[in-house]
């Protein structure tokens, strides 16, 4: 897995954020890395910059700007901004260090407060002499991958909760008098992005509710309907598609979002960034924020454009970020409609897959550079972001969540296909279709295992191998009447458990599952010999489980009890001549009652334990353990199925 180096560059000046214009004479204090502060100057007069930015809007004064003039402006401004960054020696040093590390991404965090600096399109910067890819756009060059985000300076860290079950709100508005927005293209892009996590159903009518669990569409969006939606449900991502419109605030021009008037989809209401932020961050009666999206994407022209710097306000994106929305993706120039659809697909496909958003931003710029030719849409994208100290861990946890959920959805699909076929004519489901699902699951797991860095903790490696084993076991269970194919899956499961045991030898759950698969695969005549070969393993697993049980609470205690109950059942094979069936039955019942005492009836450990004992009773029947499995099932009873739902603590 590629590493990410965070480089923080702060540009400071005295005074309030507003009411100061750009001038080459104004000194800014630049702080970067461990080096001391340096003074930098921005080589633009304010009015000259406004004129140049106007020419980057493709049309000025109703007259199209020629492609040649646009390209010249992008080049000249990019070179000037590259020289500004070159004034900071520590930045050059940090990027140079990353150049020696293959596949390392440099995340440049640009922290500013001054509104006049927010006007400057640093995303267009061209590498100065000595920088990677000198003479090429700095955030597109292939030598050292760089990703730029902006950040509002804060007095306290902003909490970020990246690892949440995703739910997207798509709000779009196209009031009369404005061109229609490409809502269908954006909806199609979002549907493709969420598709891997939508549960399979035999018909589209049954499938629609599953889509709505992940994606809510709000047409003809008004400020009131957005506020109500965010107050009633927790959305992790909000995607707004609308036109940007100038708005007058205290006599100065800023940019707002053109939404519909509540109750009148033809009417237009232009709202500022701070008002939109209030709608997106729902508060309860005592002022506590109930729900806050982790990321807001604005497919809105000029949503990253500052407008006037005289009065407080800033851009829409700046205002949302200042209102404690951790990530805001916007555009600082008009974005072509095709580019906005591309951006939506690349952004949400990557984010929901669990990719690091800093890599997603880089991929987005590269995609716009190639798929939106003749434009500078790649430089229009601006991202305001907060990256806490544990962000890499949060992203990894979210990636694991999404991978697990994607696999669980595929298992749900396989089970639904088997049920649908049985309900029609009692026949088996189409083998080719089922095999495609199984191979897809195996491919997902292989990519997940391969993505683990060599330096990862052994427990993480064991967990991924254990989940691969558990998945092979589930595949084997879905081959009714096909003993050869089921056996092959069980053998793969046992091998994965063995590899997990090599990674983490003292994991009692892994030892237990390895012993379980060994017993299941053993021929009837060979079962009696398992005690002499693996009896010590069984004893060690019991001792490790008992040690774990001493200080465990909640779900951890439930898992230890579940392992002990299963080991009592396996004692019928591994304990040898000392095995006492009556004593084992009592112990299994006690352990199962203990599970019910420490977790809720709906909890996954109960479902998982009951499912495992039903496998012993129904799928892997043996005379040695049939009564023991029945005793466990009688205590645990029928519990709600977790198929199609992800559990994050154990595979």
Residue 306 CA: distances (Å) to CA of 273, 287, 380: 11, 29, 13
DSSP per residue, 452-474: S-TTS-HHHHHHHHHHHHHHHHH
Burial pattern 245-274, b for ≥16 Cβ within 10 A else e, equals bebeeeeeebbbbbbbbbeeeeebbbbbbb
Residue whose structure tokens are 């080719």:
432
Answer yes or no: is pLDDT of 339 > 70.
Answer: yes
Q: Residue 529: exposed, middle, or buried by beta-carbon count in 10 A (0-12, 13-18, 19+)?
A: exposed
Residue 625 CA: distances (Å) to CA of 474, 569, 618: 20, 6, 11
Residue whose structure tokens are 């569409």:
217
- As given in the structure block, the two tokens for residue 577 are 């001549």
Q: Could you tell me the sign of the dihedral formed by the alpha carbons of 49, 50, 53, 59, in that order?
A: negative
Q: Could you tell me the sign of the dihedral formed by the alpha carbons of 565, 568, 569, 570, in that order?
A: positive
Among 378-392, 422-436, 533-547, the minimum mean pLDDT is found in 422-436
Of 478 and 612, the one with more pLDDT: 612
Write the DSSP symbol of residue 104: P
What does the alpha-carbon distance between residue 24 and residue 511 come to, in Å, rounded to a whole number?
69
Among 226-235, 246-255, 424-433, 477-486, the minimum mean pLDDT is found in 424-433
- As given in the structure block, the two tokens for residue 127 are 């590498």
- Closest to 566 in 3D by CA, of 623, 625, 639: 625
- As given in the structure block, the two tokens for residue 320 are 């949302």
Beta bridge partners of 271: 257
User: At a CB cut-off of 8 Å and minimum separation 6, what does 140 contact?
Assistant: 133, 365, 366, 369, 378
Write the DSSP symbol of residue 617: I
State residue 97's pLDDT score.
76
Cβ atoms of residues 354 and 402 within 8 Å: yes
Answer yes or no: is pLDDT of 646 > 60.
Answer: no
What mean pLDDT comes out for the span 178-187? Answer: 94
Q: Is 143 helix (H, G, I), strand (E, B) or coil?
A: coil
User: At a CB cut-off of 8 Å and minimum separation 6, what does 312 contact?
Assistant: 17, 18
Taking only the tens place, the pLDDT of each residue in 418-476 is: 777 776 665 556 678 888 999 999 999 999 999 888 888 899 999 999 999 999 999 99
Taking only the tens place, the pLDDT of each residue in 250-305 is: 657 778 999 999 989 999 999 999 999 999 997 765 666 678 999 999 998 877 67
Write the DSSP symbol of residue 158: P
State residue 470's pLDDT score.
94
- As given in the structure block, the two tokens for residue 163 are 């690892």
- pLDDT grade for 650, boundaries at 50, 70 and 90: very low
What does the alpha-carbon distance between residue 437 and residue 419 come to, in Å, rounded to a whole number?
15
- pLDDT grade for 638, boundaries at 50, 70 and 90: confident
Give the mean pLDDT of the chain: 90
Question: How many residues would you count in the chain?
Answer: 651
Beta bridge partners of 39: 29
Taking only the tens place, the pLDDT of each residue in 342-371 is: 999 999 999 999 999 999 999 999 999 999
User: At a CB cut-off of 8 Å and minimum separation 6, what does 298 contact?
Assistant: 240, 257, 304, 316, 317, 320, 328, 329, 330, 331
Of 45 and 525, the one with more pLDDT: 45
State residue 344's pLDDT score.
97
State residue 334's pLDDT score.
86
Taking only the tens place, the pLDDT of each residue in 323-333 is: 999 999 999 98
DSSP per residue, 240-288: EE-EEEEEEETTEEEEEEEEEETTEEEEEEEE-HHHHHHHHSEE-TTS-
Radius of gyration, CA atoms only, the chain? 29
- Closest to 632 in 3D by CA, of 568, 576, 573, 578: 568
DSSP per residue, 318-358: HHHHHTT-SEEEEESS---HHHHHHHHHHHHHHHHHT--HH
- pLDDT grade for 480, boundaries at 50, 70 and 90: low
State residue 428's pLDDT score.
59
């Amino acid at each position: 897995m590629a590493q990410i180096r965070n480089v923080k560059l702060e540009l400071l000046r005295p005074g309030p954020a507003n009411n100061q214009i750009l001038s080459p004479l104004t000194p800014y204090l630049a702080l970067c890395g461990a080096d001391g502060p340096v003074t930098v100057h921005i080589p633009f007069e304010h009015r000259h910059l406004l004129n140049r930015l106007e020419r980057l809007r493709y049309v000025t004064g109703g007259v199209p700007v020629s492609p040649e003039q646009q390209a010249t402006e992008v080049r000249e401004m990019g070179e000037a901004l590259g020289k500004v960054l070159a004034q900071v020696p520590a930045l050059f040093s940090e990027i140079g260090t990353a150049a020696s590390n293959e596949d390392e991404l440099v995340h440049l965090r640009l922290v500013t407060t001054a509104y006049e600096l927010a006007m400057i399109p640093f995303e267009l910067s061209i590498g100065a002499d000595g920088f990677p890819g000198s003479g090429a756009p700095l955030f597109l060059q292939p030598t050292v991958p760089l990703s730029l985000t902006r950040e509002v300076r804060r007095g306290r860290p902003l909490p970020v909760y990246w690892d949440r079950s995703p739910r997207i709100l798509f709000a779009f508005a196209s009031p009369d008098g404005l061109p229609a927005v490409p809502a269908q293209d954006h909806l199609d892009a979002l549907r493709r992005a969420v598709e891997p996590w939508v549960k399979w159903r035999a018909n589209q009518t049954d499938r629609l509710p599953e889509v709505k669990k992940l994606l809510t569409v709000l047409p003809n969006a008004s400020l009131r309907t957005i506020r109500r939606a965010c107050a009633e449900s927790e959305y992790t991502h909000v995607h707004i598609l609308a036109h940007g419109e100038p708005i007058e605030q205290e006599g100065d021009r800023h940019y707002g979002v053109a939404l519909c008037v509540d109750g009148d989809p033809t009417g237009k209401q232009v709202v500022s960034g701070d008002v939109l932020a209030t709608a997106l961050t729902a508060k309860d009666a005592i002022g506590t924020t109930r729900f806050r999206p982790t990321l807001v994407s604005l497919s809105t022209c000029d949503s990253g454009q500052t407008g006037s710097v005289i009065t407080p306000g800033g851009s829409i994106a700046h205002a949302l970020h200042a209102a404690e929305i951790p990530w805001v993706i916007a555009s600082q120039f008009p974005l072509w409609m095709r580019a906005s659809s591309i951006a939506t697909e690349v952004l949400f496909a990557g984010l929901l897959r669990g990719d690091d958003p800093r890599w997603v931003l880089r991929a987005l710029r590269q995609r716009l550079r190639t798929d939106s030719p003749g434009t500078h849409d790649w430089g229009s994208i601006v991202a305001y972001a907060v990256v806490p100290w544990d962000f890499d861990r949060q992203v990894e946890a979210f990636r694991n969540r999404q991978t697990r959920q994607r696999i669980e959805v595929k298992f749900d699909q396989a089970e639904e296909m088997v049920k649908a076929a049985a309900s029609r004519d009692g026949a088996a489901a189409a083998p080719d279709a089922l095999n495609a699902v199984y191979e897809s699951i195996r491919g997902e797991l292989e990519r997940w295992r391969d993505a683990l860095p060599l330096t990862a903790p052994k427990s993480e490696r064991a967990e991924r191998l254990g989940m691969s084993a558990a998945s092979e076991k589930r595949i084997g269970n879905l081959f009714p009447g096909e003993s050869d194919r089921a056996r092959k899956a069980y053998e793969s499961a046992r091998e994965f458990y063995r590899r997990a045991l090599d990674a983490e030898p003292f994991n009692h759950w892994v030892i237990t599952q390895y012993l379980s698969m060994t017993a299941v695969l053993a021929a009837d005549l060979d079962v009696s010999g398992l005690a002499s070969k693996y009896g010590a393993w069984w004893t060690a697993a019991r001792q490790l489980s008992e040690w774990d049980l001493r200080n465990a609470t909640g779900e951890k205690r439930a898992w230890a009890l579940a392992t002990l109950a299963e080991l009592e059942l396996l004692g019928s094979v591994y304990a040898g001549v000392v095995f006492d069936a009556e004593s084992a039955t009592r112990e299994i019942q006690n352990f199962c009652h203990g599970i019910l005492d420490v977790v809720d009836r709906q909890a996954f450990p109960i479902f998982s334990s009951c499912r495992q004992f039903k496998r012993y009773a129904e799928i892997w029947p043996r005379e040695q353990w049939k009564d023991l499995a029945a005793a466990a099932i009688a205590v645990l009873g029928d519990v709600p199925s977790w198929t199609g739902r992800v559990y994050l603590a154990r595979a």
